[in-house]
Amino acid sequence: MNNHIGLSFTVENIQYAHFIKNEHTFNLDQLGTINYPFAYDEREFFREDRILLLAELIRHSFEKLKIEQPTISISIETNLAILKRVLLPENLDTKELQEHIAWDLSESLTGPITNYVYHITSNYFHHHDLQDTLVITLPKKVISFFSQISKLTRFSLKNLSLNQLAAELILQSILINKIDGLFVLFKISGNRLETTYLWNGNYLYSNYEKIISAHKPGSFTQIIIEKIKSNIKYIETLFEQWGMELTVVDKLFVYGSGINAELIELIQKNCSVPVFRLNPLQNITFTEKIRQNMPSRYDVLKYVECIGVVLDT
């Protein structure tokens, strides 16, 4: 059996999507979560002593599910990487290109460029004088951390991506040929709001905010709504400053463990933009096993990233 697993490492837990691959498609077989054996803290997460701990946890979890010799795709929190739009002049040779990127990234890095690995994506934004390409930069220690987990589990690592880029792939799979325009993705989980701006279905910018609310009924929800309204206004103002013909957000998509019917209704009531659930199962094929154990329409929203990262395989 050809098993493939998408693993999304989030601030809350590890979410997984198990697919069975046949000749032409990936068929979703089961979804679930794995709790961390320690409190999540990004400053402590990449300690050497946690590699074996996580590897054993992941291996035993899938042994219990009788999933044998899977390949894996991993997505991690976007703030562990540096995503920067870089102007890349034409006709540069390889050495000149490397020097140009190193110079452009230098202000964003906390150490020498040799401590990082960067990837030039095909995500290109062009409007009048604005011409830039998305460059993703990851610390080598982060890549090494997950590579070592892969080796210890004996699960072959196919790709390492970022959670918000995995969510972007879900959006593209849903909209297919209807991706023109300005969209915003909002992930609400725990005490965080993550915002991703997309132009014609491609990642533009993102940010995340920790929500600190007074202990009053409804205060957290009200802060979330005000942040969403503020972030919509921000991107619309930015597009207007750029002289874009379209300066309004077309659609909002929401996902994450904090989404429920009441919150969607309140967002829709307070924002003059259509709001949709980012349903990761919309264009996915299933096995009979998961058809009989289908998660609810809101519970499934926490699995967006572990499903989306498999679409990048």
Domains in the chain: boundaries = 3-79+140-169+281-312, 81-138, 178-277
Angle (deg, nearest 10), helices 140-153 and 49-64: 40
Residue type, 109: L
Q: What are phi and psi of 124, to 5 degrees?
A: -120, 130
pLDDT per residue as tens digits for the range 101-151: 888 888 888 888 889 999 988 888 876 666 788 999 999 999 999 999 999
Burial environment of residue 9 by CB neighbours within 10 A (0 to 12, 13 to 18, 19 or more): buried
**Which residues are paired to 196 by β-bridges?**
185, 206
Positions of E strands within the chain = 3-9, 14-21, 26-34, 71-76, 82-86, 116-127, 130-139, 156-162, 182-189, 192-199, 202-210, 251-255, 275-277, 285-286
CATH code of the region 3-79+140-169+281-312: 3.30.420.40
- Which pair of tokens denotes residue 252? 């909002």
Q: In the prediction, which pLDDT does 43 show?
A: 86
Average pLDDT of 267-282? Answer: 94
pLDDT greater than 70 at residue 218: no
pLDDT recorded at residue 186 = 97
Say whether pLDDT at 25 is over 90.
no
pLDDT, tens only, 260-272? 999 999 999 999 8
Confidence of residue 232 (pLDDT cuts 50, 70, 90): very high
Determine the pLDDT at residue 24. Answer: 79
Q: Could you tell me which residues are beta bridge partners of residue 276? A: 253
Rounded mean pLDDT of the chain?
Answer: 90
pLDDT at position 239 is 87
The answer to whether the 3-79+140-169+281-312 and 178-277 domains have the same CATH topology is yes
196, burial (CB in 10 Å: exposed 0-12, middle 13-18, buried 19+): buried
For the chain, the 3-state helix, strand and coil shares in percent, each to the nearest 5, are: 35, 30, 30
Confidence of residue 217 (pLDDT cuts 50, 70, 90): low
Q: Which amino acid is at 21?
A: K
Tally Cβ neighbours within 10 Å of residue 245.
6
Nearest CA to 212 out of 228, 194, 224, 195 is that of: 224
Pairing verdict, β 156-162 and 71-76:
parallel
Q: In the predicted model, is pLDDT for residue 214 greater than 60?
A: no
Q: What is the torsion angle, in degrees rounded to the nearest 10, for the CA atoms of residue 212, residue 214, residue 220 and residue 224?
A: -60
Tens of pLDDT along 46-105? Answer: 999 999 999 999 999 999 999 988 999 999 999 899 998 888 777 788 888 888 888 888
What fold is seen in the domain 178-277?
Nucleotidyltransferase; domain 5 (3.30.420)
